[in-house]
Structure 1
Amino acid sequence: MNRTALIVGASGGIGSALYLQLRDTHRVFAISGQTQEFPDWFVSDYSENSLKEIAREIDCRFDLVFICNGFLHNESHAPEKRLSRIEPDAMHTSYERNVVIPAMVLRYFYNHFYRERPTVCALLSARVGSIGDNRTGGWYSYRCAKATLNMLVKTSATELERTYKHLTLVALHPGTTQSALSAPFLRQGSHRWVSADETAQNLERVATALDPTDTGRFYDWRGEPVEW
């Protein structure tokens, strides 16, 4: 087994499913806010210093990277349906978790991408972050943060393709997945939702089918393009 993978946000519903799935075929490194008794598992508070130190400790390059961090709601904040519901604290938290942390991961881990052979790096976005697909409004903080994440993907891919010729850096919409993030919003029969295990299978299938001509793009769990 000489293929390697990195899962950031490995304790979430999708991240943990990806971690367990990829262990069969890759040496998997994980970054998480929670402790687990697995090899190559790094606990982080996701501060810049923590991510920088972990990047220094890991002495290898990756074939496959999934950055799964995200935030939609907690006990204090729910998705805002109206402008009058926007709160600075909630918006700051959303940007920190959905944008700043993934940006710091890219900053300190891009030199773990291969130069001489392919690396696929997928950041988990959301269809609600698509400006062109926004037909219902609402969910202000989450939509804005994911739209910003999409710009991070596009801008990073544009920079890195100059020196990492075999890199595929994309945003992926995982679909509606049973997880702590989506649990309050699932409605039986309203639209298709799947288990985290099925989502992990879909994401691996889509990611590994991509090539460097796809870098800087946005795809859903079926491999279909999503407009920015």
Structure 2
Amino acid sequence: MPYSAIVVGAGSHIAQAIIEQLNERDECQQIIAISRHQSFQHPKITALHCQYDERSIENICTELDFQFPVGKVFICQGILHQNELQPERKLESISAENMLTIFEANTVTPSLWLKYLAPHLKSNEPCKVALFSARIGSISDNLLGGWYSYRASKAALNMMVQTFSVELARRSKNVKLLAFHPGTTDTPLSKPFQRSVPEDKLFTPKFVATQLLSLLDKLEIDGKASYMDWNHQPITW
């Protein structure tokens, strides 16, 4: 069945790898790639630019025009570090300004995208939505501490995904939500923290895109949110 796909945060390395692989799928006939500046040269791909404030997100979503039912959505946004902003290793490093920046990028903005995209997702065809979370957002798995704002923002995103899924199970029964942990991927986000990562656990964007797409293909529309990793293994919330 032909479908349209949406990729939010299309400027990221993983998102671009996802777009490349979607482009090769015959059943994916339309790709909406949303980013701040990224451009694409392919007739399947429509590039839209957005600054990610709520009004801009709403305006973009209001104007979306789909040729086919939306079958896959990827919300790839998030930050770990930015300029002077770094993960906090101790309590004294927490600052309100940095915490708000992290929460806006990792929790608020992805939630707004789902809010405004939701009217486009309901159809008679399956629609699978992946939001980029992280294993570090698991409350039950937190044995190391540190990285306060990043942990908390991803845990908050997980709660939003769970809560969205309860409502969508009533309103849009064709939608399946996934909180996805990509693992440590060789991108600018992880670059400062790669030194301690074993070579076989530092993944390419292409590998992560392949794993995510194959995972989405397997997931059933069951009215529940899933929290899973690159290896298709469930993570405890």
Scaled to the shorter chain, the TM-score interval is: over 0.9
How many angstroms does 1:189 deviate by?
2.4
| Cα distance in 2 for residues equivalent to 1:161 and 1:206 | 20
For the pair 1:49 / 2:49, whether they are aligned, the reply is no
For the pair 1:189 / 2:198, whether they are aligned, the reply is yes
Q: Secondary structure at the match of 1:161?
A: helix
Specify the alignment match of 1:161 in structure 2.
Answer: 169
Identity %: 38
Q: Secondary structure at the match of 1:143?
A: helix
For the pair 1:96 / 2:113, whether they are aligned, the reply is no
How many angstroms does 1:12 deviate by?
0.8
Specify the alignment match of 1:173 in structure 2.
Answer: 181
Check conservation: 1:63, 1:114, Cα contact below 8 A: no
Check conservation: 1:17, 1:197, Cα contact below 8 A: yes
| Cα distance in 1 for residues equivalent to 2:199 and 2:137 | 20
Check conservation: 2:173, 2:223, Cα contact below 8 A: no
| Cα distance in 1 for residues equivalent to 2:172 and 2:218 | 18
Matches within 5 A, 1:103-122: 103-122=111-130
| Cα distance in 1 for residues equivalent to 2:77 and 2:48 | 15
Equivalent of residue 29 in structure 1, options 8, 11, 32 = 32
For the pair 1:84 / 2:97, whether they are aligned, the reply is no
Deviations 1:5-40 (A, max 9, x none): 100001012111111221122221111011414441
TM-score norm. by structure 2 comes to: 0.92
Specify the alignment match of 2:213 in structure 1.
Answer: 204
How many angstroms does 1:2 deviate by?
2.5
Specify the alignment match of 1:63 in structure 2.
Answer: 71
Q: Secondary structure at the match of 1:212?
A: coil
TM-score norm. by structure 1 comes to: 0.95
Distance change >3 Å, CA 55–CA 196, structure 1 → 2:
same
How many angstroms does 1:89 deviate by?
1.4
Distance change >3 Å, CA 54–CA 24, structure 1 → 2:
same
Counterpart amino acid of 1:203?
A: L
> How many aligned residue pairs are there?
228
Counterpart amino acid of 1:199?
A: V
Q: Secondary structure at the match of 2:215?
A: helix
In the alignment, structure 2 segments of 5+ residues that lack a partner are none
